[in-house]
Amino acid sequence: MPDLQAELRRLPSVDALLGHPELLALEAESGREPALAAVREVLDEARRAVRSGAAAPDHPALVAAAAERIRAWLQPSLRPVINASGVILQTNLGRAPLSAAALAAMARVAAYSNLEYDLEAGRRGSRYVHAEGVLQRVTGAEAALLTNNNAGAILLALSALAAGREVVISRGQLVEIGGGFRIPDVLLQSGARLMEVGTTNRTYARDFEVACGAETALLLQVHTSNFRVSGFVHQPTTAELAKVAHARGLPLVVDLGSGVLLDTAAFGMAHEPTVQECLQAGADLVTFSGDKLLGGPQAGIIIGRAELVAALRRHPLTRALRVDKLTIAALGATLAAYQAGRAVQEVPIWRMIGAPAAEVRRRARRWVRRLRALGATAEVVRGVSTVGGGSLPGETLPTSLAALRVASPDALARRLRLGDPAVIGRIEEERLLLDPRTVLPEQEADLLHALERALA
């Protein structure tokens, strides 16, 4: 057993370790205090290990440990990731990747901008005018307002229009969304009282008719997000609910969740009601997300009748939920692609959804050839991609996957996750699968280099 005091004396001093050229270089990058803290931590850990009976680490090992710690601290916690999982709207990976136009728009206004300044009048303006015009043109709405996310949008709508009064909603739409957040809990925070009608699987327009009374503020229709009930089911259409609401002088608010602007049936999937269709069916307000099927930044979008949007804009909660200039810029650029009819060519999630199966297969074959050249056992297999993000539940797209057989798929997946850039795939049947559909062509070179490093 090593002599305790002798082993402790073998450990260098803090200054001696900090004087190593590698650590001096890292200190110049990180600053004195982080480098000092890393060295002290490494030496403290070494002393504890020696007192537990271990031999003292040598000088190079201590330098390497301290250097690794400093580099880890220098690395931002939020890092770019290449999504090869096959899930297009991967919530854990930040949902929709932004288009090149959106990124450029954010960069243009990152310094000073006319966020709340009317350049023509030379006085204070409103941040909401910058996205309202394009939203009106794209959706046909009278007015629009932005919040930080869709939960905030529906919270604001109910706070402004229904606090202290009843909101009529189908029991089949009281859903729980990602992260354990429940729609009823969000709604109750507004101060409104929920009037649940119908049953879990079947609700009719007449249920809403019977429930309406003197205390009713509005009717609410909620998209069921990431689940679908099939079989003996029925829910009233937006048009049916609008007829009930308007006969009683009440507004109909529709929480669409994803808020798609394009016909999903054109891409081989089930038709998802569009934002435009909801307005045309008679919805007075429609709320939806900016970072799901719209393909833009995280935001809650509210569109509809001008007088209702004006009431929301005046509510104090609007300030607490407001979006910043970068979100407004990115959303405006994303919507401009829809306005110009170029969303399928420019918005990344629609590029992925609309990618032809033959092109996806060609890319998978190219990846497999590269992997085999590196000595890996790889083949092209058929599979499916999913939209994800609580959108289009149960809908898939055919895809071709690069499948790797290695001794430990978990170990390879971990190396890829910890690489730079990080790469996320999926493991099935003891194979690591990589889906070209969710990797943009401009990311392909980085992906292949990451695979090369991980396999080496």
Calculate mean pLDDT across residues 141-159. Answer: 95
Q: How confident is the model at residue 184 (pLDDT cuts 50, 70, 90)?
A: confident
* 87-143: pLDDT as tens digits: 999 989 999 999 999 999 999 999 999 999 999 999 999 999 999 999 999 999 999
How far is the CA of 20 from the CAs of 24, 238, 331, in angstroms? 6, 70, 49
* pLDDT for 2: 60
Q: 386 pLDDT exceeds 60?
A: yes
Cβ-based neighbour number of residue 209 at 10 Å: 15
Contacts of 203 by beta carbon, 8 Å cutoff, 6+ apart: 170, 171, 172, 197, 234, 235, 236
* 198-247: pLDDT as tens digits: 888 898 899 999 999 999 999 999 987 666 666 678 889 999 999 999 99
Q: How confident is the model at residue 188 (pLDDT cuts 50, 70, 90)?
A: confident
Q: 322 pLDDT exceeds 70?
A: yes
All domains of the chain in start order, with CATH? 4-74 (no CATH), 81-91+351-455 (3.90.1150.110), 100-346 (3.40.640.10)
CB distance 86 to 364 below 8 Å? no
54/7 Cα distance (integer angstroms): 9
Q: 186 pLDDT exceeds 90?
A: no
Q: 388 pLDDT exceeds 60?
A: yes
Higher pLDDT, 391 or 289: 289
223/287 Cα distance (integer angstroms): 10
How high does pLDDT run on average in the chain? 92
Could you tell me whether strands 176-177 and 117-118 are parallel, antiparallel, or unpaired per DSSP bridges? unpaired
Q: How confident is the model at residue 178 (pLDDT cuts 50, 70, 90)?
A: low
Instruction: For residue 145, list its beta bridge partners.
Output: 302
Q: 373 pLDDT exceeds 90?
A: yes
* pLDDT for 391: 73
Q: What sign does the CA torsion over 424, 426, 431, 437 have?
A: negative
Q: 3 pLDDT exceeds 90?
A: no
**Tokens coding 386:** 């999913």
* 250-282: pLDDT as tens digits: 999 999 988 899 999 999 998 889 999 999 999
Of 151, 159, 220, 214, which is closest to residue 183 (Cα–Cα)? 151
Could you tell me whether strands 300-304 and 143-147 are parallel, antiparallel, or unpaired per DSSP bridges? antiparallel
Higher pLDDT, 456 or 309: 309
* pLDDT for 389: 72
* 38-58: pLDDT as tens digits: 999 999 999 999 899 898 899
